[in-house]
Structure 1
Amino acid sequence: MSDKKTKILVVEDEPSLIFTLRDTLESEGYEVFVSEEGTGALEMAKEHEPDLMILDIMLPGKSGYEIAEEVRASKMTFPIIMLTAKDQEVDKVKGLNVGADDYLTKPFGVKELLARIQARLRRKGTYSSSNEVDILKLGPINVDLMESVVERPDGEEIELTSREVELIRYLLKSANEPVSRDELLEKVWRYEYSTNTRTVDVHISKLRAKIEVTPEDPRYLITLHGVGYMLKTG
């Protein structure tokens, strides 16, 4: 059995919270790296290749939103849990739209944080159950859900984010049947509010550009107006 520790990158500038997070996570067996400002976070992520990032929104240098966008633009797909002191829906939606997988509003309990971390790591690493598809064929396009990569007809390979893989997995459970935006928000984003479904539309649009030969005329990831979306596999 491998004794390699799961690595977590904490991007936070509040000293007392850094101490608490490091102490808590290390006591749970995680290897912890800390960036106390935004400008060096991306380089630390590239250097240490974490399994998960805990990312504050309000940081010196760069905001958490900017960092999340840079991480995703750099093709890094590890889960991001965003921390915010703002208990406003618009901030949470913005975080989800730029690439975060989950969020916690300060102050939060240690048990809740650990539960969120464990849930995200579990979803990241257990996509290969015996009754799940690992290679999805959509016409001439192969979607490798184990390796999180799309193989296009011209040989180009495009990486999928952990959120995109989870989104495909969930749509596959209801293949050829409609799935509402509210259901996707609840089940894939674990988002308790349904007043803004734009975040789903944005992610669907980005995913469609990767898995469709002609995204403007999709054959597989279909919009059902007034209903939601459907993944056609037959």
Structure 2
Amino acid sequence: MRNKVLLIEDDRGLAMPLKVFFEDYGLQVFWAENGQKALEMFKEVCPDILLLDIILPDYNGFDILDEVRECNVDVPVILMTGTEYSVPNQIRAYKAGTLNFMAKPIIPQAMLALVQHVLKIPQNIRKYDIDGKELVLHGQILVIDKKEYKLREKDSQLLRFLLDRKGQIVTREVLLKQVWVDDAFENNKHLDSAMHRLKRVLNDAPSIKIKTIYATGYMLG
């Protein structure tokens, strides 16, 4: 059962009531009040989801997110902020692979509903309904309307990342860091090859396209 939440929040007055509320619903909540402790706890407890404040005493939340993504591209992250809720920060958050960016004050019931929804999704299975087409991604197997396709490991990670961000432009740099964990120039050819293979597979579902955004990146829509 996936139920481990790492709550990274320096405001004890917010963190403790949220922790107690979540625990009343069967979640196991680990609380870190600063960035250093958060990174240590992340490696120690391997949480199933992160709730991450942007403004911390010693770290910026985006810096913590970058460090987390260096070793784990899949763990779901929800960002929270009271003063940094701006369009540029929202864009930055989604480019970094967060699932949501919530403005404080946090509504505990709404946050709980979101966390429970995310944790109910099997870790290695994703289901999507796009324009009436059902896609199921299970590990390296993609199923489109009951037809199976075997994908390479990196291709499946790349497709999952784009599907989770349907309608959002994702830069090449972000994809390289998230999937190859390295945006070195030589990895660009691997990204190009993976995109070519995925576009070929998706030919069987014309309503689902990976669009190339000139000089920027890609968008699945």
TM-score bracket, normalised by the shorter chain, equals 0.5 to 0.7
What is the alpha-carbon distance in structure 1 between the residues aligned to residue 46 and residue 80 of structure 2?
20
- The one-letter amino acid of 1:142's match is R
Whether 2:68 is the aligned partner of 1:74: answer no
RMSD between superposed Cα atoms in Å: 3.8
Identical amino acids, percent of aligned pairs: 23
1:189 maps to what in 2? none
1:57-108 per-residue CA deviation (whole Å, 9 max, x = no partner) reads 0001111101111001022521111101133111111122233222210012
1:142 maps to what in 2? 152
What is the alpha-carbon distance in structure 1 between the residues aligned to residue 104 and residue 126 of structure 2?
34
- C-alpha contact (below 8 Å) 2:73/2:178 kept by paired residues: no
What is the alpha-carbon distance in structure 2 between the residues aligned to residue 165 and residue 208 of structure 1?
10
Aligned length: 188
Paired residues for 1:131-210 under 5 Å = 132-134=136-138, 135-136=140-141, 142-143=152-153, 150=154, 160=157, 164=158, 166-167=160-161, 170=163, 183-185=166-168, 197=169, 199=170, 202-204=173-175, 206=177
Higher helix fraction (1 or 2): 2
2:20 alignment partner, one of 23, 28, 38: 23
User: Normalized against structure 1, the TM-score is what?
Assistant: 0.65
Structure 1's 121 and 208: CA in aligned 2 closer, same or farther, altered over 3 A? Answer: closer
Structure 1's 123 and 202: CA in aligned 2 closer, same or farther, altered over 3 A? Answer: farther
Whether 2:35 is the aligned partner of 1:60: answer no
1:193 maps to what in 2? none
1:112 alignment partner, one of 110, 113, 116: 110
- The one-letter amino acid of 1:215's match is L
Greater mean deviation of Cα atoms: 214-223 or 4-13:
214-223
What is the alpha-carbon distance in structure 2 between the residues aligned to residue 27 and residue 98 of structure 1?
31
Task: Indicate the SS of the match to 2:191.
Answer: coil
1:100 alignment partner, one of 98, 107, 118: 98
* Unpaired segments ≥5 residues, structure 2: 128-133, 143-148, 182-186, 200-209
Whether 2:45 is the aligned partner of 1:48: answer yes
What is the alpha-carbon distance in structure 2 between the residues aligned to residue 230 and residue 84 of structure 1?
28
* Unpaired segments ≥5 residues, structure 1: 144-149, 152-158, 172-180, 186-196
Deviation at 1:53, TM superposition (A): 0.9
